[in-house]
């Protein structure tokens, strides 16, 4: 549920809370940092505190329940608490930090609590808080200012609206709040937001095109904060799937790990590292294979590692090495090689240059088409992202089209030109539900529509030198309406007659006023 939908209540208890109430309260907590700390930095403090508040409230409510249930048996209570999803000590809970909010070393106390939380949950949280420092003078100011800001932060999260006990708030509401905050941070961060966020409507479109099924393994090699993975998993309709991801930025990787927990995807495998130079998701000496691979990788990444790609030990660049200043086809090559042979699907967001640039990129593109792996090209509107105003495209590769796959006989590529389907907004173009639905239905049915979609045989693409520029295949020209010259002339004559009359009246008014000279 987004913040625009109808409010949803928690588990039916007397103390009810809506999605909007939690979203607004969490966003208001950011006032502590606005104008002092850059959005790309203060997001980490807010999201970490939200996570700590969440696991603390769950632990505290369960502790109270066990104490009532096993009154007089503290050993039993302690034993049960050790089996919690996130076991905590009292000194690492939010309540402890809030009780000490006036301490001169509150930043240090928060850091100590985070270290204890990691230590008590090493299998899940090892390293997640390593890049966050609540005692940082560089980010949070000198001691007096820092202490005041942290006290305000703790008091904001102690408000009744952010009481996140399970009896009051369901996991899906908390997960939505986490996504909501990430989207708002991305809006504030502007062009820096590309490191951690794909606009929700674009993520939803990509996820629906990827169409994961039950028991599928889903992988994002540039997963950012994990929102695209979560959107894709939501398409399955059950919890019967596996999630995998890798992220190069340590802070963003930590956000992704917390995002998974906030959405009850505790078993997700999210690795930290450079996918193109050091892929972490392996089976022995081979890349791990996945049923669905999705990504919004950084556009035209410079210095991505072309100098060592020739000797890539995983054999990802056998079709060719992309230019050192444009890593788009490096990610595409990695994704295709990571998709399960004869069944895997790949859906990736790319800049339009990927469709037509020549050189080594052209040779890679030619190979992918000749192998019959390219299934669909979707052109999207410009200005969908906070990071760039350029139009983008979605490429879908289907390994079931290769020899031995169920779609081996398919010999066409579906082109969809959705570049004019959007809702104008102040800062960005927006994909509405009707726009997403039209793209998805066209893709599923592989239907053709004038000026919108067309099935193109690979032979025609070959004749165009494997150029995938969408206007080569879909004619979007709209003839201008015929002009009735006689009617236009009549309209001009009528306007001129009215103008003569107006001028005569104006001359009369000037004469009356003695201004006719």
The pLDDT value given to residue 46:
94
Pairing of strands 392-398, 345-351: antiparallel
Residue 94 lies in a domain: yes
Tokens, residue 295? 């990504």
404 and 305 in a common domain: yes
Summarised one tens digit per residue, pLDDT across range 320-343 is 999 999 999 999 999 999 999 999
Interval 189-205 mean pLDDT: 71
- Report the C-alpha gap between 269 and 337 in whole angstroms: 19
Residue 13 lies in a domain: no
Higher pLDDT, 412 or 192: 412
Of the listed ranges 23-37, 60-74, 89-103, 495-509, the least confidently predicted one is: 495-509
Percent of the chain with pLDDT over 70: 92
Q: What is the maximum span of the chain, computed from C-alpha positions, in angstroms? A: 107
- Report the C-alpha gap between 458 and 65 in whole angstroms: 65
- Report the C-alpha gap between 45 and 157 in whole angstroms: 12
CA angle 375, 404, 212 (to 5 degrees): 50
The pLDDT value given to residue 480:
58
Confidence of residue 3 (pLDDT cuts 50, 70, 90): very low
108 and 35 in a common domain: yes
Confidence of residue 95 (pLDDT cuts 50, 70, 90): very high
CATH code for the domain of 452? 3.40.50.150
297 and 333 in a common domain: yes
402 and 516 in a common domain: no
Residue 14 lies in a domain: no
Residue 8 lies in a domain: no
The pLDDT value given to residue 386:
72
Whether the per-residue pLDDT at 438 is higher than 80: the answer is: yes
Summarised one tens digit per residue, pLDDT across range 293-328 is 999 999 999 999 999 999 999 999 999 999 999 999
147 and 223 in a common domain: no
Residue 10 lies in a domain: no
pTM for this model (two decimals): 0.87
Is the separation of the CB atoms in 435 and 422 below 8 Å?
A: yes
The pLDDT value given to residue 14:
45
Decide which of 131, 157, 189 is a domain's last residue.
189
Q: Which residues contact 314 (CB under 8 A, 6 or more apart)?
A: 279, 286, 287, 337
447 and 517 in a common domain: no
132 and 207 in a common domain: no
497 and 466 in a common domain: no
Residue 365 lies in a domain: yes
The pLDDT value given to residue 16:
63
The pLDDT value given to residue 45:
94
Decide which of 165, 189, 213 is a domain's last residue.
189
Whether the per-residue pLDDT at 4 is higher than 50: the answer is: no
Count of the separate structural domains present in the chain = 3
206 and 145 in a common domain: no
Decide which of 167, 189, 211 is a domain's last residue.
189
Of the listed ranges 51-60, 335-344, 376-385, 441-450, the least confidently predicted one is: 376-385
442 and 354 in a common domain: yes
Q: How many CA within 13 A on the CB side of residue 334?
A: 29
CB neighbour burial string for 450-471, b if at least 16 within 10 angstroms, e if fewer? eebbbebebeebeeeebbbebe
CATH code for the domain of 27? 1.20.1260.30
353 and 243 in a common domain: yes
178 and 111 in a common domain: yes
Whether the per-residue pLDDT at 194 is higher than 60: the answer is: no
Angle between helices 39-69 and 143-157 (to 10 degrees): 50
Summarised one tens digit per residue, pLDDT across range 346-365 is 999 999 999 999 999 999 99
The pLDDT value given to residue 162:
94
Q: Which domain holds residue 501?
A: 483-517
Angle between helices 227-234 and 171-189 (to 10 degrees): 140
Of the listed ranges 252-266, 370-384, 425-439, the least confidently predicted one is: 425-439
Residue 268 lies in a domain: yes
Residue 3 lies in a domain: no
- Report the C-alpha gap between 179 and 317 in whole angstroms: 35
Summarised one tens digit per residue, pLDDT across range 281-290 is 999 999 999 9
């Amino acid at each position: 549920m987004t913040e625009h939908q109808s409010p949803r209540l928690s588990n039916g208890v007397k103390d009810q809370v809506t999605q909007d109430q939690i979203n607004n309260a969490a966003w208001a907590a950011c006032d502590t940092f606005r104008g002092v700390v850059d959005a790309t930095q203060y997001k980490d403090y807010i999201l970490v505190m939200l996570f700590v508040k969440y696991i603390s409230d769950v632990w505290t409510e369960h502790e109270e329940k066990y104490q009532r249930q096993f009154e007089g048996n503290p050993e039993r209570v302690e034993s049960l608490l050790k089996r919690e999803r996130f076991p905590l000590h009292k000194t690492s809970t939010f309540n402890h930090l809030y009780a000490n909010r006036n301490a001169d070393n509150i930043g240090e106390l928060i850091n100590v609590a985070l270290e204890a939380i990691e230590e008590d949950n090493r299998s899940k949280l090892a390293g997640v808080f390593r890049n966050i420092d609540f005692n940082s003078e560089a980010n949070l100011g000198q001691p007096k200012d820092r202490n005041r800001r942290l006290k305000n932060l703790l008091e904001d999260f102690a408000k009744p609206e952010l009481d996140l006990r399970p009896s009051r708030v369901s996991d899906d509401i908390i997960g939505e709040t986490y996504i909501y905050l990430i989207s708002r941070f991305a809006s504030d961060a502007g062009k820096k937001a590309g490191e951690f966020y794909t606009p929700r409507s674009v993520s939803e479109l990509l996820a629906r095109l990827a169409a994961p099924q039950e028991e599928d393994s889903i992988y994002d090699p540039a997963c950012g904060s994990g929102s695209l993975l979560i959107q894709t998993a939501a398409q399955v309709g059950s919890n019967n799937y596996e999630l995998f991801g890798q992220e190069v930025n340590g802070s963003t990787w930590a956000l992704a790990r917390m995002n998974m927990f906030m959405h009850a995807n505790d078993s997700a495998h999210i690795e930290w590292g450079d996918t193109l130079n050091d892929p972490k998701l392996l089976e022995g000496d081979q890349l791990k294979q996945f049923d669905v691979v999705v990504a919004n990788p950084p556009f035209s990444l410079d210095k991505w590692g072309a100098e060592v790609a020739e000797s890539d030990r995983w054999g990802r660049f056998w079709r060719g090495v992309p230019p050192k200043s444009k890593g788009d086809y490096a990610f595409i090559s990695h994704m295709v090689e990571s998709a399960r042979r004869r069944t895997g699907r790949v859906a990736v967001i790319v800049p339009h240059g990927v469709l037509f640039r020549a050189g080594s990129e052209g040779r890679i593109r030619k190979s992918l088409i000749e192998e019959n792996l390219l299934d669909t090209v979707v052109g999207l509107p410009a200005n969908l992202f906070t990071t760039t105003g350029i139009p983008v495209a979605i490429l879908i590769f289907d390994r079931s089209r290769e020899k031995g796959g169920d779609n081996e006989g398919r010999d066409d590529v579906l082109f969809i030109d959705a570049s004019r389907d959007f809702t104008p907004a102040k800062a960005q173009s927006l994909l509405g539900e009707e726009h997403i639905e039209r793209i998805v239905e066209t893709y599923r049915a592989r239907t053709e529509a004038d000026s919108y979609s067309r099935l193109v045989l690979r032979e025609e693409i070959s004749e165009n030198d494997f150029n995938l520029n969408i206007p080569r295949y879909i004619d979007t020209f709209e003839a201008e309406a015929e002009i009735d010259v006689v009617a236009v002339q009549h309209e001009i004559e009528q306007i001129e007659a009215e103008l003569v009359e107006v001028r005569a009246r104006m001359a009369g008014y000037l004469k009356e006023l003695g201004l006719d000279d």
